[in-house]
């Protein structure tokens, strides 16, 4: 599994912890920045990771900002992205089992390092349950495709 990771200044410390964790789990990890504590705009980094997942260049993404909210909003603008904001273990597990989430958003100012690492471990190791959830995900894809058609007809 190839995972892309990105953050803004509020997620930098946590991003570095998670990169070490993924290395220890022998998961290939691509760092999309930011890599300095200077204030940056989270959409710039959310876009890079979301684009890479959306186009199939990487399998999944992890995005970290102060709350995780901004990053999850950005990521869910992209086709084929199912980003989930998980600042607890239960939602991390359910986002994989039921939603087949392909991007995990985390709040660097919300969760402590230990909990965040446990969330990531759970998220990377939990499979999609399939079955009835496939029908629901297909409905999401249909909504997405309909909206893309609608927007392209307008222009
Ligand atoms: C940056 O101060 C903060 O707004 C950002 O990290 C994030 O929490 C946005 O959702």
Is residue 47 within 6 Å of ligand 1 at its C-beta?
A: no
Distance 118 CA to ligand 1 centre (A): 22
Determine the atom of ligand 1 nearest the C-alpha atom of 67: 8
φ, ψ dihedrals at 103, nearest 5°: -135, 135
Ordered per-residue pLDDT tens for the chain, 155 residues: 999 999 999 999 999 999 999 999 999 999 999 999 999 999 999 999 999 999 999 999 999 999 999 999 999 999 999 999 999 999 999 999 999 999 999 999 999 999 999 999 999 999 999 999 999 999 999 999 999 999 999 87
Is residue 54 within 6 Å of ligand 1 at its C-beta?
A: no
3-state secondary structure 93-129: HHHHHCCCCCEEEEECCCCCHHHHHHHHHHHHHCCCC
38: helix, strand or coil: coil
**From atom 9 of ligand 1, which residue's Cα is the shortest distance away?**
70
Model pTM greater than 0.95? Answer: yes
All structural domains of the chain, each given as residue ranges with its CATH number in brackets, are 2-129 (3.40.1400.10)
């Amino acid at each position: 599994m190839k995972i892309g990771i990105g953050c803004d200044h509020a997620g930098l410390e946590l991003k570095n912890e998670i990169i070490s964790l993924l290395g220890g789990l022998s998961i290939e990890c691509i760092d999309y920045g930011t890599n300095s504590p200077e204030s940056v705009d989270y959409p710039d980094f959310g876009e890079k990771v979301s684009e890479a997942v959306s186009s199939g260049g990487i399998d999944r993404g992890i995005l970290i900002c102060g709350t995780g909210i901004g990053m999850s909003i950005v990521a869910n603008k992209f086709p084929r992205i199912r980003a989930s904001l998980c600042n607890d273990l239960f939602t991390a597990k359910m986002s994989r089992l039921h939603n087949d989430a392909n991007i995990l958003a985390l709040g660097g100012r919300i969760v402590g390092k230990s909990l965040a690492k446990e969330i990531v471990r759970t998220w990377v190791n939990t499979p999609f349950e399939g079955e009835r959830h496939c029908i629901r995900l297909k409905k999401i894809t249909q909504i997405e495709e309909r909206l893309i058609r609608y927007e392209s007809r307008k222009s």
